[in-house]
Structure 1
Amino acid sequence: MINQEETLANVTVVGLGKIGLTLAAVFANNHFNVYGSDINEGVVATINQGKSHITNEPGLDQLVAAAYNSKTLSATTETAEAVAKSNIVIVIVPVLIDNQYNVDYQFIDAAVKEIARGMKEDTLVIFETTIPPGDTQYRFGKKLQELSGLRLGEEFYLAYSPERVYSNRIIEDLKKYPKIVGGINEKSRELAVDFYKKALNCKLIEVSSLETAEFSKVAECVYRDVNIALANELAKFTEKIGVNMSEVRKASNSQPYSYLHEPGIGVGGHCIPIYPYFFINKGLTKGMTPMARKINDSMADYAINKVEEEVGSLKDKNVLILGLAYRENVKEPTKSTTLLLIDRLIKLRANVFVNDPLFTNSEIKQYGVSPLSLQSEFTSKMDAVILQAFHKAYESLDFTKFISCKIILDGRNKLNKNEIQRLGITYRSIGNDDIKERL
């Protein structure tokens, strides 16, 4: 049988992105010896200097430095070697979708092969990556058993506990949100529960199966996608009948059973535009889940149509998009609505410019557009401006620079409408256009 104290001594965290590094640092500051594994040599080198490669994650720098000083956190590119020294393995490697909406397993499949190479008897493997229901057991558990030669549920243990955190507040969320835990069998679940109690000191929700735990995480994301799609649908309707959506939300949400999300130009990131396809590809091809995906992805076109109503043809027009990131104050372009905007604007033969204080010029150029500093005199040549991500830097945006601008499309309903209109620039938004002008 497993000695619990030895089991909980050494932990390998596979995948040192925002969530993986934060988990590793938290574990390392809670009396565990943690080996972090990542394929990026630069990430590994930075962590082994006691520094975090992740920015805008409050408290993470301090946790990494403290773990480095106490010699409880180190990093390596050799996953199998790290796993061989550990009794518990946490897998937090990305699973995405490709351009045809098929699940892209390339990174996590490669990680699983390396984990299997290093596994020994009594190893507990916990997957935290959001994945389609059934994958923990039938894809990854099966592969671990096949490659390691160890019997699943008897000679090694398997659990699933989805990450449920939000960028810029991961450490806070790890304390606040209950950890959902499911196992291949009772022993697996018990071992995972015991680990998280000591490693995170958070509330736990034990569920009856791996599939229940997997399904619960995807369902959370589908709920948000559907709710946002509903808000966008209602926002478009308010514009037709001359009602302000922000007022509607405030009034409706005063009822405790109503929680309308904020409408907007679209959704992005690793979660909402991706995880619903984990259900859709499993057979949920009709109903609100696929419909919500279509509605939310159509909002970029809807926004550009608003710009065209004011400017006319966008051929050879200068259009500035504020925010490459998928949301405010996070340096993450994955599935950003800006990418949809860029694609459509290029097809319309517009001159596309992007400003984002979180990205370098070279990073922005990778998307086939021109970076534009807000201090540049060329801001005076912009014909239209679209706000996609309301970074803190945009709170004090000086609109007087946009002397040729005919329209500012506020895709997040955050800008000062009155200030923009005083400058003679048309203000348009998602559900909050000036009613008097439209009646």
Structure 2
Amino acid sequence: MIDQRTSQPNAAVVGLGKIGLTLAAVFANNGYNVFGADINEDVVTAVNQGKSPIKNEPKLDQLVLQAHQNQTLSATSLTADAVAKSEIIIVIVPVFVDIQNNIDYQWMDQAVEAIAKGIKQGSLVIFETTLSPGDTRNRFGRKIEEVSRLKLGEDFHLAYSPERVYSNQIIQDLANYPKVVGGLDEKSLELASTFYKKAIGCELIEVSSLETAEFSKVAECVYRDVNIALANEFAKFAETKGISISEVITASNSQPYSHIHAPGIGVGGHCIPIYPYFFIHKGLDRGLTPIARRMNDGMAAYAIGKVEDRIGTLKDKNVLILGLSYRGNVKEATKSTTLLLMEQLQEKKANVFVNDPHFAESEVQKYGADSLSLQGSFVSEVDIVILQAFHEEYSTIDFENFRNCKLVLDGRNKLNKEEITRLGIKYEGIGE
């Protein structure tokens, strides 16, 4: 019998995080032998056992197991080895911003160095990590060229196709969202498009350059950041007029050209609070982009100010924050507004507690807060509740157990205001 795997092309996926592993598993179930590379040995071990180290991503467990059983997915911590076995290399290694919001390329630089040591002539390298316009060509393409001594555009090909997916629905989004693809040249674009048509089968949007594709992803995130900042500005103004911003937005958005986002206590995650700096640090340091960042990061202080206006001093008050995650129904604390709230509250000498059903008590404590169970007796000692991330579990909170609670600040405008006020607890929303 002929082993079908021998006739399948080989692809390397560098970076097996939530998105990278999902991509690897999808590719491995769509006609490719995939060699995953990650510096985390625990991730490598799990993948090689047919197990997904990523939880709460629907259908990922099944795809990883199926690819393992078909022997089309394996993993290694030696990036150069995975690259050397492959004709196509997909790079999905994170690029962050540091505490001063400067772009941190450390992990990507290390990965690109390893890719350059393993790349062979004729290979196609596709970057999917969100990058500043120009980085794929000028920083990483040139680095591969320098280390490998292969000629960019002649000996190896280069493309960029940003990931555009949402946690907890990545596989669904890969199938439904158009894939934006840009290439170094016509040959790179052709190779990348051919790959994605087979590996994902989604609609493609071919753009004229690497930089256009890079710009498009950052622009998506900046748009959302600016829109949320505008919603927050509207919310603050609505409060001064005694108007419900939620009611306003519902009415406004009935006009098909109005798409006002929801206001909130802040913006978190891997994307919206980070990627605007990819423009800001490349020259777009004035105008709406930096203003939106300041507005949204300032919402935590604004929220604490609202609490002080209603309660007075926060010194020695027991404050419970609902949600360590940056948004509801995910387990991810990157740039979570809860971290900003904790900082503000600790400065004011409050006793800070955090509840999040997605995190273990020890995980919450690593972020510098005491974990508090909603089933524990201490909830009766809580003075203030702040909803930061609306997990579905919070829709059934029994506030009768919060016998000492004086105020609930609903940072997402999701809780039952009537039920809370019926119990004699003050309710505050954002723009409500």
Post-superposition shift, 1:393?
A: 1.3
Separation (CA, whole Å) in 2 of partners of 1:46 and 1:431: 46
Deviation per CA, 1:125-152: give whole Å up to 9, x if none. 0000001110000000000000001000
Alignment partner, residue 200 of structure 1: 200
Post-superposition shift, 1:405?
A: 0.6
Specify the SS of the correspondent of 2:357: coil
Alignment partner, residue 320 of structure 1: 320
| Letter of the structure 2 residue corresponding to residue 163 of structure 1 | E
Alignment partner, residue 216 of structure 1: 216
| Letter of the structure 2 residue corresponding to residue 306 of structure 1 | K
| Letter of the structure 2 residue corresponding to residue 58 of structure 1 | P
| Letter of the structure 2 residue corresponding to residue 291 of structure 1 | I
Alignment partner, residue 383 of structure 2: 383
> For the Cα contact (< 8 Å) 1:310–1:406, is it kept in 2?
no
Superposed counterparts of 1:181-196, under 5 Å:
181-196=181-196
Deviation per CA, 1:353-387: give whole Å up to 9, x if none. 00111111111111211111111111111110000
Separation (CA, whole Å) in 2 of partners of 1:241 and 1:273: 29
> For the Cα contact (< 8 Å) 2:413–2:429, is it kept in 1?
yes
Number of residue-to-residue matches in the alignment: 428
Separation (CA, whole Å) in 2 of partners of 1:321 and 1:85: 49
> For the Cα contact (< 8 Å) 2:229–2:292, is it kept in 1?
yes
| Letter of the structure 2 residue corresponding to residue 52 of structure 1 | S
Post-superposition shift, 1:400?
A: 1.0
Alignment partner, residue 94 of structure 2: 94
| Letter of the structure 2 residue corresponding to residue 14 of structure 1 | V
Alignment partner, residue 431 of structure 1: 431
| Letter of the structure 1 residue corresponding to residue 86 of structure 2 | S
Alignment partner, residue 238 of structure 1: 238
Separation (CA, whole Å) in 2 of partners of 1:254 and 1:329: 27
Separation (CA, whole Å) in 2 of partners of 1:345 and 1:366: 17
Post-superposition shift, 1:6?
A: 9.3
- Which structure 1 segments of 5+ residues have no match? 433-439
Post-superposition shift, 1:56?
A: 1.3
Q: Relative to structure 2, which stretch is displaced further, 56-65 or 103-112?
A: 56-65
Separation (CA, whole Å) in 2 of partners of 1:302 and 1:247: 21
| Letter of the structure 1 residue corresponding to residue 247 of structure 2 | E
Specify the SS of the correspondent of 1:126: strand
Superposed counterparts of 1:412-423, under 5 Å:
412-423=412-423
| Letter of the structure 2 residue corresponding to residue 114 of structure 1 | A
Specify the SS of the correspondent of 1:151: coil
Separation (CA, whole Å) in 2 of partners of 1:298 and 1:330: 23
Separation (CA, whole Å) in 2 of partners of 1:335 and 1:81: 34
TM, length-normalised to structure 1: 0.96
> For the Cα contact (< 8 Å) 1:8–1:87, is it kept in 2?
no
Alignment partner, residue 30 of structure 2: 30
Separation (CA, whole Å) in 2 of partners of 1:395 and 1:22: 30
Alignment partner, residue 168 of structure 1: 168
Deviation per CA, 1:281-334: give whole Å up to 9, x if none. 001111100000000001101111111112211111110000000001111100
Separation (CA, whole Å) in 2 of partners of 1:139 and 1:206: 22
Separation (CA, whole Å) in 2 of partners of 1:6 and 1:227: 50
Separation (CA, whole Å) in 2 of partners of 1:33 and 1:369: 44
Alignment RMSD: 1.1
Separation (CA, whole Å) in 2 of partners of 1:285 and 1:401: 48
Alignment partner, residue 436 of structure 1: none
Alignment partner, residue 58 of structure 1: 58
Post-superposition shift, 1:246?
A: 1.0
Runs of 4+, deviation exceeding 4 Å: 5-8
Deviation per CA, 1:7-29: give whole Å up to 9, x if none. 97001000111100110010011
Separation (CA, whole Å) in 2 of partners of 1:385 and 1:118: 53
| Letter of the structure 2 residue corresponding to residue 56 of structure 1 | N
Separation (CA, whole Å) in 2 of partners of 1:370 and 1:225: 30
Deviation per CA, 1:107-165: give whole Å up to 9, x if none. 01000011111100001000000011100000000000000010000000000000000
Specify the SS of the correspondent of 2:255: coil
> For the Cα contact (< 8 Å) 2:8–2:31, is it kept in 1?
no
| Letter of the structure 2 residue corresponding to residue 107 of structure 1 | W
Post-superposition shift, 1:392?
A: 1.4
Separation (CA, whole Å) in 2 of partners of 1:357 and 1:261: 26
| Letter of the structure 1 residue corresponding to residue 203 of structure 2 | K
Alignment partner, residue 409 of structure 2: 409
Alignment partner, residue 274 of structure 2: 274
Alignment partner, residue 76 of structure 2: 76
- Say yes or no: does 1:348 pair with 2:348: yes
Separation (CA, whole Å) in 1 of partners of 2:106 and 2:8: 29
| Letter of the structure 1 residue corresponding to residue 282 of structure 2 | K
> For the Cα contact (< 8 Å) 1:8–1:195, is it kept in 2?
no
Separation (CA, whole Å) in 2 of partners of 1:147 and 1:168: 37
